[in-house]
Amino acid sequence: MIEIKQNHSLKEQNNFRFDHKAEFFCEVHSVEESHEFIDYCLNKNIPIKLLGDGTNIVLTRDIEGGVLKVSIPGRNINRNEVNLGAGENWNEVVLWSLENQLFGLENLSLIPGSVGAAPVQNIGAYGEEISSKLVSLEALNIKTNELILMTNKECKFSYRESIFKKKDDLMITSIKLKLSKEPKVNTSYKSLKNYLIKDDINPNRATPYQVCRAVTSIRNQILPDFKVEPNVGSFFKNLILDEMTFNKLKKKNVDLPHFKNPKDLTYKVPVAFLIENAGWKGKKQGNVRVSEKHALVLIADKGSNSEQLIKLSSVIAKDIYEKTQVELEVEPKIF
């Protein structure tokens, strides 16, 4: 039997700790419980919003209707494939896979959030994305209460994008990943390679465990702890530019860091460089600020609210556009 709470505070369910309420709130631990709450909402003709660990959302208001928090557990291994419940903690799963000598997730260490949210965002870091490991997933259509199986191709992955961002009626319940029993690693990402070299580790001979420790250490050094300084990590997406747009931007920023994708001849440009170059790093407006550690991270200090945060992000985006003529795109989901 599920427990449905009314006018439930979501303060503990979002990283910024903004105190907005859900009209109806239910935390589910199985597909059966999910079916039950979806039926409840369908019978009352009320909309449903989905919630994972709240590490990549910005709450700006009270939520009318139902909020379904997905906490479905599950970790199973079948040879080199793993089946994971959507409610599992992502970083704990990465460490668990290494303990079981299954490799391929080490570059994605310490990314906050749940397993179910990982494909939505197509999480990625240090040269890897979850889309390269995902075989399939199961999802509930919250408008029909039907459970469906989706292949990797059907998820329509791209940089920080998936079909789940465009169709918010799909709730991921579990995912299947194909990992490797061979300890091959990807150390192509420049900052990861440099860190390993500084640590007297040959990047070409690094073990998955060494890569995991390196990624964890780098993230701890450059990103503020959201439990101490409320944030959702990168607030803006990095830029993916065609050659013409990239060349125009590079004329204005001679030292512009970038990564050229040989597959489609696009250029990935770190937005943190543009924000820092424009003088925003460490700047404060009201009770919100740009992190002193990383220019992509916005922090909500005590006494802040979502209005202040959205205003700061808009001012930054406008300033960057005026200086570079490129538009920044917000990464977290705005409710």
Active site residues: 160, 234, 331
**Length of the chain measured in residues:** 335
Alpha-carbon Rg for the chain in angstroms? 20
**How many CB atoms sit inside 10 A of residue 145's CB?**
15
CB 3, CB 23: distance < 8 Å: no
Write out the two tokens for 282: 């460490």
3-state secondary structure of 246: helix
Rounded Cα gap, residues 28 and 72, in angstroms: 7
Q: How far is CA 140 from the centre of its chain?
A: 20
The strand pairing partners of 49, in sequence order, are: 67
Written as one string, the DSSP assignment of 7-66 is EEE-GGGSTT----EEEEEEEESSHHHHHHHHHHHHHHT--EEEESSSTTEE--S-EEEE
Q: At a CB cut-off of 8 Å and minimum separation 6, what does 123 contact?
A: 90, 108, 111, 113, 117, 129, 130
Rounded Cα gap, residues 131 and 140, in angstroms: 20
User: Which residue in the block uniquely carries the two structure tokens 């928090």?
Assistant: 69
Q: For 127-234, where are the E strands, in sequence order?
A: 128-129, 134-141, 146-151, 170-178
71-167-316-284 Cα dihedral, nearest 10 degrees = -20
